Amino acid sequence: MNVAAIQMVSCTRLEDNLRDARALLEEAARGGAELAVLPEYFCVMGHQDTDKLALRETPGEGRIQQFLARAARELQLWIVGGTLPLQASTPERVRNTTLVFDPRGECVARYDKIHLFYFDNGRERFHEGRVIEAGATPVQFDLPSRGGHRWRVGLSVCYDLRFPELYRAHAAAGAELLLVPSAFTHTTGQAHWEVLLRARAVENLAYVLAPAQGGTHENGRRTWGHSMLVDPWGSVLAQRPQGAGVVQGVLDPERLRDVRLQLPALSHRVL
């Protein structure tokens, strides 16, 4: 199955981001992708965290969801919409939500980011919990590919990558592909991004597709980029260091079966 990770350098204006995302999704479709995954915060990188509140949508309604549904239908793609702000239980917060749309334009899965990023090194400070309400439930969905294989896909977002128990839950549920739409900071990404992605692939014997924000944003934030596709042996099959673009590659179900037969570590779990 041909898959695409969309790398962006999102700005503070919703319509500009949607225009750029559409162009990149079209590029992925022209390249033969069946699945295209947008990065975290693809729709906006605000000047401050509370900017998300003005863009929050009700499930099933809103400009961003309409955009994703239409793009999936018109381009005949499975689209994973990075994250967008959805209504939370209080007006002071939003959910940082991944929505999955099938080629009919139907929303078939929703995942609310569970782990909320906090980082303070004295120069940079991030505290997602001030505005975002955490989710609580791991989510997988099934994607029947054109080649006949039904892929089991586990959803996650950015900071989730540091919590291997989430990915083990996906593996226990049969996941063969793990998605990690992200907006890793340059500081933390440079230190840990690739090693964490490859570790999640190796320990779960699964493909990992990780689209990211990658560059210096209008709000001054700098993100690491390096969107990539990793195979179940931990090999990086494709990546893009910085700047907007498409990272494309092929998932091979036979390769997945071979790796899991040669090293059946998932069946050797004790704890």
Q: Which residues are catalytic?
A: 40, 113, 158
Query: Cβ contacts of residue 246 below 8 Å, gap of 6+?
Result: 4, 5, 6, 7, 24, 27, 28, 31, 240
Cα separations (Å) of 151 from 16, 158, 234? 33, 22, 19
Here the tokens at position 27 are 């590029």
84-102 CB burial, b ≥16 within 10 A, e <16: bbbbbeeeebbbbbbbbbb
In 3D, which of 219, 222, 201, 220 has the Cα closest to residue 210? 201
Chain length of the chain = 271
Backbone angles phi, psi at 28, to 5 degrees: -60, -40
Query: Cβ contacts of residue 81 below 8 Å, gap of 6+?
Result: 38, 42, 64, 65, 68, 98, 99, 100, 101
Query: Cβ contacts of residue 192 below 8 Å, gap of 6+?
Result: 162
In 3D, which of 98, 113, 27 has the Cα closest to residue 68? 98
Interatomic CA distance for residues 40 and 7, integer angstroms: 10
